[in-house]
Amino acid sequence: MKLKLIIAALFLSVNVFAQNDKETLKTIYSQSLTNGKAYQWLDHLSNQIGGRLSGSVNAEKAVQYTKTELQKLGLDKVWLQEVMVPKWERGEKEIGYFTTLGKQVNVNICALGGSVATPNNGLKAKVVEVKSFEELAKLGTSVKGKIVFFNGAMNPELIHTFEAYGGCSKQRYAGAYEAGKLGALGVIVRSLNLRQDNLPHTGSMGYLDLPNNQRIPSAAISTNDANALSAALKTDKNLEFYFKQNCKQFDDVLSYNVIGEITGSQFPNEYMVVGGHLDSWDLGDGSHDDGAGVVQSIDVLRLLKESGIKPKRTIRVVLFMNEENGLRGGKKYAEEAKRKNENHVFALESDSGGFTPRGFSFDCSEANLNKVLSWEPLFKPYLIHYFEKGYSGADIGPLKNDNIVLAGLRPDSQRYFDHHHAANDTFDAVNKRELELGAATMTSLIYLFDKYGTSNISDIKEIKN
């Protein structure tokens, strides 16, 4: 084919595509909003199975359930990928209170994931409040024999609530590590919640290389109780705090990533991944974190089929195990992809809740981003405006290389941390339409990327042939 003809063909395709793409996105959104399956899958995952902590019976039920549902979709391939995961159990409901000026004030606490238990009868000690690791470092070994109370609050001025979360999640993860090194007896951490309420929010913590005798119990306290404790400490430095938890870490157990694929019709060796994580914390039923991402990702493949789209590239849904306390599923998937020399060109994760989608953040080269930005007008009728460089998702992170486009769905984040890792992360907090709009938005991006790729090398080759 002569160059002029190629250019003419390209020009023609662009125009034809433009109209097709508008119609295709309309079909995808209409299918999702009138015939979506995400909400009913989430209902089962949340209400019939419930919280799905790695290594738990529920996590295995979720593996079997989603595998069966993927099989029902008539995909080209569905399989389980083995992965060893940590197993930690909360045990009995935790108890916490403080005594001040002859009065006992009960507080709402929960063990942080990965924490050791308190002694059988609980732990009682004086409290030192800090708001940062810098403050803790200044106190040094004077915290010995005490409970360190990390009371750093999420910054309400940040519009992106994930930034506020990032700003103080370190005290949850490493609080016990830093305080344990200094000889503290225990750690209480203000819940990572922008709202004032009575719910403690769990989440992972780690002891890293600390020897066993420095591994101290660590718990989250609700924002209301954190304020009450802080206020009480102002008038009574000798206040004592008591808490009791009998959580336990077991040996690693076998679990699975659940994977399904539509094999590409033209470039079967170019892989595109869409996923969320199947495990959740144990306090709620993990509807937003990340039941929503799981069911949206499954529905992406179903919506492609229902909308009559036959992908050129291989589209895989990956339901990752163990994002919350180990990321073993994400690491395992990337490891196997590398071992098999699979060419992953794109990965999209939904792990920011099932709220109204606002757009995507992209972790990729400038050239790839510019290509993606050219699709922005197609999304405007669906009120999808946000296309920015940024973080994609924890599970797909290990796939990162110079060529891949990593993307994260960005739903409205204002309510997310009201529910995150807490007992109110439940099905009733998810709105059906918001969830479905997210699934349609993800499907649309997958459709466009499959069709146009980014570098266009494959597509130009295709036209030449």
User: Which sequence positions are flagged as catalytic?
Assistant: 323
List the one residue from 134, 157, 251, 366 that touches a copy of itself (CB under 8 A): 157
Q: Does 415 bind a copy of itself (CB under 8 A)?
A: yes
For residue 167, what are its two tokens? 């700003």
Q: What's the CA gap between 209 and 150, in Å, rounded?
A: 21
In the complex, the smallest distance separating the C-beta of residue 283 from a copy of itself, rounded to whole angstroms, is: 20
Pattern 317-346, a copy of itself, x by CB under 8 A:
------------------------------
Q: What's the CA gap between 94 and 90, in Å, rounded?
A: 9
Other CB atoms within 10 A of residue 428 CB? 10
Q: Does 3 bind a copy of itself (CB under 8 A)?
A: no
From the list 122-130, 132-140, 153-161, 242-250, the region that binds a copy of itself by CB under 8 A is: 153-161
Pattern 25-44, a copy of itself, x by CB under 8 A:
----xx--xx----------
Q: What's the CA gap between 85 and 88, in Å, rounded?
A: 10
Three-state SS string over 103-138 comes to EEEEECEEECECCCCCCCCCEEEEEEEECCHHHHHH
From the list 103-111, 329-337, 360-368, 430-438, the region that binds a copy of itself by CB under 8 A is: 430-438
Q: Does 195 bind a copy of itself (CB under 8 A)?
A: yes
> Do 158 and 167 contact (CB within 8 A), yes or no?
yes
Q: Does 383 bind a copy of itself (CB under 8 A)?
A: yes
The whole-angstrom distance between residue 365's C-alpha and the CA centroid of its chain comes to 23
List the one residue from 103, 237, 338, 385 that touches a copy of itself (CB under 8 A): 385
Q: Does 156 bind a copy of itself (CB under 8 A)?
A: yes
Q: Does 418 bind a copy of itself (CB under 8 A)?
A: yes
The DSSP secondary structure of 213-239, one letter per residue, reads: GG---EEEE-HHHHHHHHHHHHH-TT-
List the one residue from 266, 382, 391, 458 that touches a copy of itself (CB under 8 A): 382
Q: Does 101 bind a copy of itself (CB under 8 A)?
A: no
193 vs 322, which CB is nearer to a copy of itself? 193
The whole-angstrom distance between residue 397's C-alpha and the CA centroid of its chain comes to 12
Q: What's the CA gap between 200 and 393, in Å, rounded?
A: 24
Nearest Cα residue to 347 out of 440, 275, 412, 439: 275
Residues forming the site for a copy of itself (CB under 8 A):
29-30, 33-34, 156-157, 159, 161, 194-195, 356, 358, 381-383, 385-386, 412, 414-415, 418, 431-434, 437
